[in-house]
Structure 1
Amino acid sequence: MRGVRNTVSVPLVELVKRRREPDVVQTLRSTAAATIAYVVALRLSSEPAPLTAPLTALLVVQVTLYSTFVTGVRRVNSVVAGVLVAIAFSVLVGLSWWSLGLIILASLVVGRLVRVSEFVPEVAISAMLVLGVTQVASTAWDRVLETLIGAVVGLLFNFLFVPPVWVSTAGQSIDGLARRMRQLLLRVGEGLTDPTPVERAAERLHEARRLDHDISEVDAALRQAEDSLRFNPRVKEGLLYRVVLRTGLDTLEICTVILRVLARTLTDLAKRRGGEPLLPPEVGATLQELLAHVADAVVSFSVLVTTQVSESAETAEARLAEVLATASTSRERLAHLLLDEIRRDPRHWQLQGALLTEIDRILDELDMEHRSKRLMEELDRASREQRERHPRLAAARQWVREALPRRAPTS
């Protein structure tokens, strides 16, 4: 008996520990919404087991409020379209193998026309289920009613119990990516003055290429965070948060590409050196020091991007400026050492010069002025696209801004 309790308690403990993860939140919210939808459908629908309602609620309740609204509208449109197709075919033809084929074809075409996205097969499914019964009109009405119940319950559930804002989760993903980049930069800087086999240099190159997979995972987490900010009443500056995180990830993605090129340059240099040290002692030590500063700058940049409190953001900005200044000083020292080395031995000047160029590109991407300029450009572009997409809403907001200062103070 004690073993059974331990077997049950362990998953529960793990569930409690992970209660703020998107998968856990989604599981609990979907279960509750589907159950409520079934209870409501039992009272309103004539079907003995109205499972379409909890199925719709299960599909409608998403991790974010924005995706819930979009999914709910698409789901209802797909079912209504399928029901209309079934009613039309029930009047014209009966159910046979050739009419079934026509129904499926027509339903899929209609689904594309009404733009229900991933619910295109739902149009055909609804049409076939409705047409497969004797009382088409009654069944069609029940299916539409159950779908509406599930969609409304799902939407109301997310409006009453607003989903979490996943900005912190996306921030953790960005921070994790930056720290993996830091570790790789430090490993790239190790052993520059020692005999370096091509295999070891190529291993660093493969690690840099694997960062592309990390970028994809962070991008997925960021998209979820962006959706959680849309239509969310708890968020006042959703556009700013979205642009800050998105531009931050774009910068880190560019840096990963440059880091991959840097690792490739060192691999090519290892091939040219044939097992000899890649760089002379003083040059190698200075490059290792510079890579360490660049690694710290990458982490400081991620902290600045993911920090929401103004005071903490100012501290992060000051820290990044300090690290970049130190890296710039180290970079100048490396440039002079490389110039002296190229004058002494110009055989590998292209690769040695490329190392400095690639580091310059990373420092330029992390530069505060470059960051501020890019952020303002993206904010202007996003605001302009929003005004063009919703001109009436933008005009109403502008009118409110202009009208508020004109109000006379009340005595």
Structure 2
Amino acid sequence: MWHALTWEAAAVGRAVRRCVTQSGTERDTAVQSLKAAGAALLAWALAGWWWDAPMALLAPWTALFLVQSTVYRSLLSALQQVVVVMVGTLLAAGALMLTHNTMVAMALVLPLTVLLGNYARFGAHGLYAPTAALFVLVYGSSSGIDILHRLLETLLGAVIGVVVNAGVLPPVHSRRVRHLRERLPRDCADLLHTVADGIGTPYDEERTRGWYDSAVRLTDVVTELRAARRWSDESNRFNPGRRLRRSVVAPPPADWDITWDGITEHIRATMRSLSEAAALPEGVPGILSALLRAGGDVLGSRDGETDERRRSLEAATAAHHRLTSVLADDRHETTPALGGLTADTHRLLADLSAVVGAWDGDAPRDDRRQSAR
């Protein structure tokens, strides 16, 4: 127990230090938290202190939850919350006026508002429908002026929450896309180099399964990239500050996401064929080692290493030609695994050629680094 508490305290300390010293998720979370608290304070100052509204709590309560992670989400959440609060309030007021009995009105309204709150279009804000109904039923505030106050205060809080989120450092989420696009080439290169070093040793089922698992994790990174891309695109929708914040670099374009999808998928297929290849013809492990090492050199090369990258691609292509020759040579005993490896590495080389073309000259000079990385 003490160890767990110590570890948690250390993790919190590291997060606080990163929040202060560098930009990242921790700082983004801190900024959004402070904005939400500020929006709630501003809403209370207007509704509770200046306006002296009878239901002033609704304004800061609404503003607090509408400082969302994107401006678009704040707008959508504001619409959802205003609608569900309005519906819940009107249903409760109508039921109370009709029955003149709190228990009967509650029995009529709560099942309907809870079902309404689970409607997918309302998202997490759907539960505010029965909550708003309970406020009306429990406190008996069902007069026209009370209902009007509830709706106006909710609307005030929604407006303040949206304006604060959009006007004060509006969030832009492009950092994750850039991070994953830089990580993919590095992780692919590391795996190919690891396999090239180990393929010449005797077959080990557990080790080849580990290679395959690592390749599957690469495809998971591509899935993360797609999710980060959607998140980045959403953060730019209706965001008034994205053109004013010079520190925010545009994320790499999506043109080459499908290429990296192909590269990771073909690496995964190659690792699967290797895991099934208990025995390969003589000389094939050495050829595969040279091919995969050269492919890793292509992906692990840095900006400006154009000649080295081209030479690595040529070396990988030459190794694949030798592999094809072994497959076609009647003097060698071929196996289904060898045919699968030849086909898988051929598709991998095709994608590597496309990436090298993008890095070295087929893409416009200003877009080369972003288009592939």
Could you state the TM-score of these two structures normalised by the residue count of structure 1?
0.70
Aligned to 1:346: 333
Distance 1:279 1:38 in 2: 77
Amino acid aligned to 2:338: Q
Q: Higher mean Cα deviation, 254-263 or 13-22?
A: 13-22
Amino acid aligned to 2:234: D
Tell whether the 8 Å contact from 2:95 to 2:108 is kept in structure 1 after alignment.
no
Q: How many residues align?
A: 339
Distance 1:201 1:9, change over 3 A: closer
Distance 1:330 1:114 in 2: 51
Tell whether the 8 Å contact from 1:175 to 1:299 is kept in structure 2 after alignment.
no
Aligned to 2:247: none
Of 157, 161, 170, the match for 1:150:
157
Aligned to 1:382: none
Tell whether the 8 Å contact from 1:293 to 1:323 is kept in structure 2 after alignment.
no
- How far off its partner does 1:189 sit? 2.0
Amino acid aligned to 2:132: S
1:345 match: secondary structure: coil
Aligned to 1:37: 43
- How far off its partner does 1:292 sit? 3.1
Q: Higher mean Cα deviation, 94-103 or 220-229?
A: 94-103
**Is 2:232 the counterpart of 1:225?**
yes
Distance 1:45 1:170, change over 3 A: farther
**Is 2:350 the counterpart of 1:364?**
yes
Tell whether the 8 Å contact from 1:184 to 1:207 is kept in structure 2 after alignment.
yes
Tell whether the 8 Å contact from 2:317 to 2:349 is kept in structure 1 after alignment.
no
Aligned to 1:327: 313
Amino acid aligned to 1:126: A
Distance 2:188 2:201 in 1: 23
Q: Higher mean Cα deviation, 361-370 or 75-84?
A: 361-370
Aligned to 2:296: 295
**Is 2:203 the counterpart of 1:196?**
yes
Distance 1:31 1:264, change over 3 A: same
Correspondences of 1:5-404 after superposition (within 5 Å)? 12-21=16-25, 22-42=28-48, 43-47=50-54, 50-95=56-101, 99-111=105-117, 115-137=121-143, 138-235=145-242, 245-270=253-278, 273=279, 278=280, 280-281=282-283, 283-298=284-299, 319=306, 323=309, 326-340=312-326, 343=329, 344-348=331-335, 350-366=336-352, 367=354
Consecutive unaligned residues in structure 1, runs of 5 or more: 1-6, 304-314, 376-411
More helix by share: 1
Q: Deviations over 1:372-397 (max 9, x none)?
A: 9xx9xxxxxxxxxxxxxxxxxxxxxx
Tell whether the 8 Å contact from 1:45 to 1:142 is kept in structure 2 after alignment.
no
Q: Deviations over 1:166-196 (max 9, x none)?
A: 2233211232233222222222222222212
Aligned to 2:367: none
Tell whether the 8 Å contact from 2:118 to 2:127 is kept in structure 1 after alignment.
no
- How far off its partner does 1:357 sit? 1.7
Consecutive unaligned residues in structure 2, runs of 5 or more: 1-9, 244-249, 364-373
Aligned-pair Cα RMSD in Å: 3.5
Runs of 4 or more, structure 1, over 6 Å off, are: 7-11, 369-372
